[in-house]
Every structure is written in structure tokens, then in C-alpha cells.
């Protein structure tokens, strides 16, 4: 057994299809070049010690109890998914001692970029490697997905999938995950509103609206699915203008199901005005982030417009590298 192991996994943006994916439609998701890193090591004391540098929280899970160190009892909520990953992996081993897990992640939290999934995936990979357990990517995905269910209520699985496999994925709950091998440059600017929100609450909000107005919302959801299919065609044809237009329509459908907000609207409209092909919220909405697809020469202008509209811009690119064991 190793003494220490380190793994990393990427953040994501959903190009089109969020929320509607929870209701059975497909979505297209991209891994982006911002990574969470997790280090796992053996500890002489029993229990699972977890520390998240960026969240400023830490504590020990031992014998069904949580003993906080930094961040008080509330830290438990942030650390619970990592604990769930660790508990599942350790349950198969007869460990006499404990393990320590350290998370270091520059991915903005609760912003729609899949930070908790990237951390769960990297934690699963680091721990399996530490304990000498050979696991496939599919098994890492399964373990991380189980942990995500604890924090997000009824997630589709899209976040742990992209952090595990990287690249561009076609994701639909009822189908096998499909990697899309488009060798296309997608110049993107992310705009972070800085407003944190809960994916679980927003997913529940759409579910509630659907149960009140099934005839209306089912049509919106179906239209969301059509947008994803047309977007595949636009990607195949490298037609970024049509892709931008489809992103704009998708955003308006997401407004219709109540998951946009004033801050997102400001950033989306600023990006479009600055010359983006298209702009939309990404992830759960209600705050969090938006994305703009723009011609490469306009990325700076779009980023400036997002900043002036009150957002925090990040110019980014897709990465094909999913979860990686680094040490």
C-alpha cells in the first residue's frame, strides 16, 4: 500500500441541456481546463480526516460521528460527499488505521461548474490508488455519482460523468454515456455572478413547476431536447453561429422554467451585445455561472463586458483529460 496518493479531475460547463436532462432529455457537456486536486494519505489514528483548503473547513468522521476542526458543525455538510466516497471505498478493506483527505480546488463552489463532482471523482481516484484498489473509470464514476446523490437530491449524473471521462459528452439518463469526438475549438468565456445557490433546490423547483403545469412544461422540456440534437449537427458542421443561436434559445427555455435570475440576465445580455455568438446560463442557474461562445478575437471584449456587468469572467477551453492519478 502507498503512503500517499494524489489525483485530479476537471470542472465542466454544460453547453446545452441542463435541467431538461433530469427529465430524460439529452445534454452536451464539456470538461474545462480548471482542475480539483485531492491528496489521500494514511494516518495512524482511526477515522476519516477531511480538509478542504479552499472552503476553509476540516473535521474527522469517526464511529458515526463528525468532530469538526475548522468551520464548525456546518462543515459536515460540505465534507459529507467526500466522506461518502471514502466510506464506500474503505468498506471493502480491513483498514486498521485511518485516512486523511486534503482537497485543493480553484473551481468556484456552488457556481454550476461541477466543483463538488470534480472533488468526489478526484477523491475516489486518490483513495483507490492509495489503497491499491485497481478500479475502472466506470467504477470511479459510479462511486462519485452515489456521493453526489447525497448533496444534490436528484442529480442526472452529468457532473461526475464529465469529471471522470473529460472531453465532450452526450449524456442521457436512459442511455450509455457517449463521448463526442469533435476536434473543434470552442472559445468560451464563463461569467460568474458570485451568487451561490443549491442545485438540489433548483432541480426541485423545475420538478414542482412540471407537476403543476405538465402540459406546458413537458413541451418546454421536449424543445430543450430538440436543441441538443440540433446542436450536435452544428458541432459536426463547425457552425458556431448556429450553435450560438441554439444556446440563446436554450437560455430562454431555462428562463421559462424559472432558473435564471437578474444577475445572470445582465451577464448574458452584456455578452451578446459584446459580440458573442450566443450566451446562456450554465448548470443549475439561480446565480452561479453563464457561458458565452464567441469568435476568438472577441473573447477579451466579451470578458470586459461581463466584468462591467458585475460578473467575474474566466476565458477557458475544453480539455480532453478526465480524472488522472498524479502520484
Tell me which residues touch ligand MEV (CB under 6 A): 14, 18-19, 21-22, 112, 114, 152, 155-156, 158-159, 199, 203, 283-284
Interhelix angle 262-273/299-308, nearest 10 degrees? 150
The pair phi, psi for residue 147, each rounded to 5°, is: -70, -40
Interhelix angle 75-91/137-152, nearest 10 degrees? 150
Looking only at the bridges linking them, the beta strands covering 27-43 and 98-104 are antiparallel
Please give the grid coordinates belonging to residue 241. 453561429
For the CB of residue 19, give the shortest distance to ligand MEV in the complex, in Å. 5
Nearest residue to 316 via CA among 308, 306, 326: 306
Task: Using the structure block, give the residue that is written with the C-alpha cell 457561458.
Answer: 291
**Residue 238 CA to its chain's centroid (Å):** 25
Locate all alpha helices (DSSP H) within 7-114, ordered by sequence: 75-91
Contact 14, 28 (CB under 8 A): yes
The pair phi, psi for residue 218, each rounded to 5°, is: -60, -35
Q: Cβ of 103: how many Cβ atoms within 10 Å?
A: 25
79 vs 71: CA distance, rounded Å: 11
Catalytic annotation, pick one of 159, 185, 304, 320: 159
Question: Which are the contacts of 61, defined by CB distance < 8 A and separation ≥ 6?
Answer: 47, 48, 49, 50, 67, 79, 83, 86, 87
Residue 159 is a catalytic residue: yes
Handedness of CA 291, 293, 295, 296 (dihedral sign): positive
For the CB of residue 158, give the shortest distance to ligand MEV in the complex, in Å. 5
263 vs 312: CA distance, rounded Å: 11
The pair phi, psi for residue 314, each rounded to 5°, is: -135, 120
Catalytic residues: 159
Amino acid at each position: 500500500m502507498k503512503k500517499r496518493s494524489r489525483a485530479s479531475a476537471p470542472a465542466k460547463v454544460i453547453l446545452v441541456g441542463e435541467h431538461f436532462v433530469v427529465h430524460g432529455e439529452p445534454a452536451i457537456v464539456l470538461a474545462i481546463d480548471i482542475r480539483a486536486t485531492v491528496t489521500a494519505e494514511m494516518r495512524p489514528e482511526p477515522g476519516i480526516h477531511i480538509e478542504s483548503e479552499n472552503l476553509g473547513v476540516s473535521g474527522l468522521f469517526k464511529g458515526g460521528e463528525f468532530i469538526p476542526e475548522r468551520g464548525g458543525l456546518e462543515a459536515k455538510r460540505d465534507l459529507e460527499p467526500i466522506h461518502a466516497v471514502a466510506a464506500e471505498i474503505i468498506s471493502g478493506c480491513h483498514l486498521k488505521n485511518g485516512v486523511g483527505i486534503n482537497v485543493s480546488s480553484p473551481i468556484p463552489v456552488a457556481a454550476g461548474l461541477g466543483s463538488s463532482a470534480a472533488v468526489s471523482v478526484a477523491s475516489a481516484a486518490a483513495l483507490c490508488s492509495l489503497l491499491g484498489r485497481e478500479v475502472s473509470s466506470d467504477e470511479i464514476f459510479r462511486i462519485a455519482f452515489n456521493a453526489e446523490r447525497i448533496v444534490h437530491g436528484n442529480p442526472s449524473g452529468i457532473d461526475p460523468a464529465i469529471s471522470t471521462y473529460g472531453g465532450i459528452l452526450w449524456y442521457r439518463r436512459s442511455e450509455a454515456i457517449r463521448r463526442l469526438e469533435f476536434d473543434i475549438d470552442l472559445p468560451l468565456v464563463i461569467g460568474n455572478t458570485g451568487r451561490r445557490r443549491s442545485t438540489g433546490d433548483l432541480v426541485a423547483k423545475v420538478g414542482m413547476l412540471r407537476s403543476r403545469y405538465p402540459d406546458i412544461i413537458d413541451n418546454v422540456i421536449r424543445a430543450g431536447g430538440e436543441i441538443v440534437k440540433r446542436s450536435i449537427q452544428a458541432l459536426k458542421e463547425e457552425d458556431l453561429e448556429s450553435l450560438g443561436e441554439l444556446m440563446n434559445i436554450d437560455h430562454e427555455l431555462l428562463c421559462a422554467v424559472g432558473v435564471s435570475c437578474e444577475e445572470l440576465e445582465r451577464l448574458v445580455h452584456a455578452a451578446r451585445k459584446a459580440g458573442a455568438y450566443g450566451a446562456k446560463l450554465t448548470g443549475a442557474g439561480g446565480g452561479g455561472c453563464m457561458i458565452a461562445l464567441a469568435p476568438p478575437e472577441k473573447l477579451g471584449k466579451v470578458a470586459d463586458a461581463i466584468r462591467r456587468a458585475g460578473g467575474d469572467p474566466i476565458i477557458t477551453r475544453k480539455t480532453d483529460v478526465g480524472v488522472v492519478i498524479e502520484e
